[in-house]
Structure 1
């Protein structure tokens, strides 16, 4: 027994010695100069918004509040409402000396007031109210602006494409309200799809990211922003996700110039190419995006693409799956011409597609009822393209929420873009007309509407009190 233990000890000692030898002579870099260089360009963001609770009491768990919300429209005045101030914390970073600040859209969404807390080299804090210049919910990005008297420190975007798995990164943020917290780690993976949106291509890192880090920078060792910290794995440790700077910088430039964020669109439904389909089509591998259907009179149809074609390249960019195709097409501006390489009948074919615009009024089913109701919603009847882009199961039918008006009734109730309305007043709805009929008739009489909402695999009830126009 002693001999066995001795052998185990010797083996462990050899392993430790081997690992130590592998790192011998390697000087791990100090990030202190980096933090001094860019730390004051990272800011704390706090938001406030007034919310109304129906038939509840302070501190009521959300599950119980939603239960009472189902019945409050039908209980009359005795249900009651109360107003309370809801606050939230996040992080941002300054990108120009005149006060432009980048953060996540979900940090500032639906906020009545947004405050930015600056810190100078002497750790003196200064608080300023910020205004929203623009947001993009599909990539979860927002651009803010504060008024300044003096030039502010700023950081620059780096090239996220140059980052490799194993490269060192630094995160600076406001986790749990602990301002200017610095954590380090490495890029642990690239191109992660966590089903947060149609353009998922996250950088994964083991640098500690926690609630409050959202919107903060992920930096390379040159102090350049190569990602915007956005999400964490709720059940894991050391797993955080950041929006790549290559995607973020182009969106921020559009917002800063006052433009609407516009994306290319070709008018097809697509899916990943599985092993069985690849074999049936006589293909060597599963790389590519399979076109399930082509919408009549849309860009792909006009260019000659057909259902069953397998897109393997856009320009010089390889397409490995459906997500690649969605993301690459969206990176182009509408009206741009792109060269598409597809496989048809086992042979490569070339097509030139002049792109349309994603989510424009020319797309089938895109109707806006915001003008005709007090909810503050832009809606579109659910299409096959939406199902593919948002990974919506076939058994889910309803109306897609394209946009939510800031400070509108729906926004205050917690409704978000990409939610799907399944039912109104417990009646299933598949068309905008069905929804407006319920809204204009029974809901106006009762003073409220009950919506069944589908969001990321979950279904729940939200009640919205209606305000009469004066």
Structure 2
């Protein structure tokens, strides 16, 4: 009996050994990848001269020369000419994309730099010039005077799979050619400050100094440009974001050819379809990008897109949610004809329109000063008024809509309506004025989610309103 137990124990240890060897055999070996690609990764150091602003004497205060406090005040507040310029240095990473000296990095690495120095693995330090830089994608293209340089091989972020191994080479905290590895956590991530980049999310350790460095797949191909981290401490916390290499190289080509980047533009404001909004539009499940505003003289207006349309496909690609639409449109060439599949009033329709060029963003603000003729809507807990001509011009609302002067506890407050909002529409009814608003509100059903379109500080969005009584 004892002998049998010993045999079973030895056999179990043998199986454990085989199992551990199997696990180890599945772990990737990065050594060859690093040896082949490190030479094409560079350290980027920048310097910028900053003149500090000295405090000035308070307006109207003069200290007569020769008084006991004259020297004290002059030393404390300065002579009015500013302090001595100081040099601010920063570090980042980059990688060589052509053997004649083109280097790709992040826009924020070289922004406002007076001098950019690229340090190669062989310890050469070369001054770089900015060929072009694009804030929206956070991509910059540099040029150094050198030839026969080692270059990286380009891969495809589109072919990446969640869970796949990836590796980063960069200069975190100035430690050149540091290597970190992890897996792809998610794809197509949208960040609040970057609407036109479908980021690759990884758990690769990325820290200050890694920005602009390459993200490799196991085949040694660059699939992304490390750009941002999500952190509450300033250091790595398991969430890193890389720009897909397809996006980066499209920007690079435009920077090389024309010095700036042109992006496709529809001219709509969109938002996610929540469960409550899906119910109000008669949808079985939330999906697509809900159009909350169509800008005047935009491609969308010319193509027949309307407020309340839900875009579910763009050029044959499914639009899962609102953040997925801007990158699709942005990467479409200006002047190209695009196809949209939308849901309007519960019916699926196809539209075609010509893509325009994305203009500079402009915002407007609207005040909510009390005006004569304001009325109370007891059912919603609102105080509303018609808009003045000045307010309509400021908000770019030529007609229709009512201005919210005050919001009391109730259904409207619970839905997110606030003072200063302009209510443009409830379900399919466009609100003409205060009297029309009151008529529409009287007929609203109880216990059902209703889509209310409001405009706030230059942007429009749908809110889900549900009346309880």
Q: TM-score range by the shorter chain?
A: 0.5 to 0.7
1:166 aligns with 2:163: yes
Residue 166 of structure 2 contacts residue 218 of structure 2 at CA under 8 Å; is this kept in 1?
Answer: yes
Provide the secondary structure at the position in 2 that maps to 1:225: strand
Counterparts in 2 of 1:20-99, with a 5 A limit?
A: 20=19, 23-24=22-23, 26-55=25-54, 77-78=79-80, 80-99=82-101
- The residue that corresponds to 1:434 in the other structure is none
Q: Which stretch shifts more, 251-260 or 336-345?
A: 251-260
Counterparts in 2 of 1:398-409, with a 5 A limit?
A: none
1:224 aligns with 2:226: no
Give 1:254 shift: 1.1
Give 1:200 shift: 3.8
How far apart, in 2, do the equivalents of 1:259 and 1:318 lie? 32
- The residue that corresponds to 1:157 in the other structure is 154
- The residue that corresponds to 1:413 in the other structure is none
- The residue that corresponds to 1:129 in the other structure is 127
How far apart, in 2, do the equivalents of 1:179 and 1:330 lie? 34
- The residue that corresponds to 2:208 in the other structure is 211
Provide the secondary structure at the position in 2 that maps to 1:87: strand
Give 1:327 shift: 1.4
Give 1:221 shift: 1.2
Counterparts in 2 of 1:87-126, with a 5 A limit?
A: 87-119=89-121, 124-126=122-124
- The residue that corresponds to 1:138 in the other structure is 136
How far apart, in 1, do the equivalents of 2:37 and 2:396 lie? 45
How far apart, in 2, do the equivalents of 1:29 and 1:382 lie? 57
How far apart, in 1, do the equivalents of 2:194 and 2:395 lie? 16
Give 1:27 shift: 3.8
Provide the secondary structure at the position in 1 that maps to 2:253: helix
Counterparts in 2 of 1:379-394, with a 5 A limit?
A: none
Provide the secondary structure at the position in 1 that maps to 2:252: helix
How far apart, in 1, do the equivalents of 2:299 and 2:81 lie? 52
How far apart, in 2, do the equivalents of 1:303 and 1:49 lie? 47
Give 1:302 shift: 1.2
Of residues 213, 229, 233 in structure 1, which corresponds to 2:230?
233
Unaligned runs of 5+ in 1: 1-12, 57-71, 367-380, 385-392, 398-429, 432-470
Residue 275 of structure 1 contacts residue 286 of structure 1 at CA under 8 Å; is this kept in 2?
Answer: yes
- The residue that corresponds to 2:322 in the other structure is 322
Provide the secondary structure at the position in 2 that maps to 1:250: helix
Q: Do the aligned partners of residues 86 and 295 (structure 1) sit closer, same or farther apart at CA in structure 2, a change above 3 Å counting?
A: same
How far apart, in 2, do the equivalents of 1:211 and 1:224 lie? 23
Q: Do the aligned partners of residues 212 and 364 (structure 1) sit closer, same or farther apart at CA in structure 2, a change above 3 Å counting?
A: closer
Residue 191 of structure 1 contacts residue 202 of structure 1 at CA under 8 Å; is this kept in 2?
Answer: yes
Residue 54 of structure 1 contacts residue 82 of structure 1 at CA under 8 Å; is this kept in 2?
Answer: no
What is the CA deviation profile of residues 36-64 of structure 1, one whole-angstrom value per residue up to 9, with x for unaligned ones? 111100000000110011127xxxxxxxx
How far apart, in 1, do the equivalents of 2:280 and 2:20 lie? 51
Residue 294 of structure 1 contacts residue 306 of structure 1 at CA under 8 Å; is this kept in 2?
Answer: yes
Q: Do the aligned partners of residues 98 and 290 (structure 1) sit closer, same or farther apart at CA in structure 2, a change above 3 Å counting?
A: same
Q: Do the aligned partners of residues 284 and 229 (structure 1) sit closer, same or farther apart at CA in structure 2, a change above 3 Å counting?
A: same
Give 1:296 shift: 2.6
How far apart, in 1, do the equivalents of 2:170 and 2:246 lie? 21
Residue 46 of structure 1 contacts residue 87 of structure 1 at CA under 8 Å; is this kept in 2?
Answer: yes
How far apart, in 1, do the equivalents of 2:363 and 2:420 lie? 17
Q: Do the aligned partners of residues 311 and 23 (structure 1) sit closer, same or farther apart at CA in structure 2, a change above 3 Å counting?
A: same
Provide the secondary structure at the position in 1 that maps to 2:195: coil
TM-score (norm 2): 0.67
1:190 aligns with 2:187: yes
Larger RCO (alpha carbons 8 Å, 6+ apart)? 1
How far apart, in 1, do the equivalents of 2:418 and 2:116 lie? 39
Give 1:77 shift: 3.8
Q: Do the aligned partners of residues 335 and 90 (structure 1) sit closer, same or farther apart at CA in structure 2, a change above 3 Å counting?
A: same
Q: Do the aligned partners of residues 164 and 382 (structure 1) sit closer, same or farther apart at CA in structure 2, a change above 3 Å counting?
A: farther
How far apart, in 1, do the equivalents of 2:290 and 2:106 lie? 33
Residue 173 of structure 1 contacts residue 180 of structure 1 at CA under 8 Å; is this kept in 2?
Answer: yes
How far apart, in 1, do the equivalents of 2:284 and 2:309 lie? 15
Counterparts in 2 of 1:293-442, with a 5 A limit?
A: 293-359=293-359
How far apart, in 1, do the equivalents of 2:107 and 2:18 lie? 43
Give 1:261 shift: 0.6
TM-score (norm 1): 0.67
Q: Do the aligned partners of residues 249 and 347 (structure 1) sit closer, same or farther apart at CA in structure 2, a change above 3 Å counting?
A: same
Give 1:156 shift: 2.4
Q: Do the aligned partners of residues 185 and 81 (structure 1) sit closer, same or farther apart at CA in structure 2, a change above 3 Å counting?
A: same
Residue 197 of structure 2 contacts residue 247 of structure 2 at CA under 8 Å; is this kept in 1?
Answer: no
Instruction: Say what the alpha-carbon RMSD is for the aligned residues.
Output: 3.2
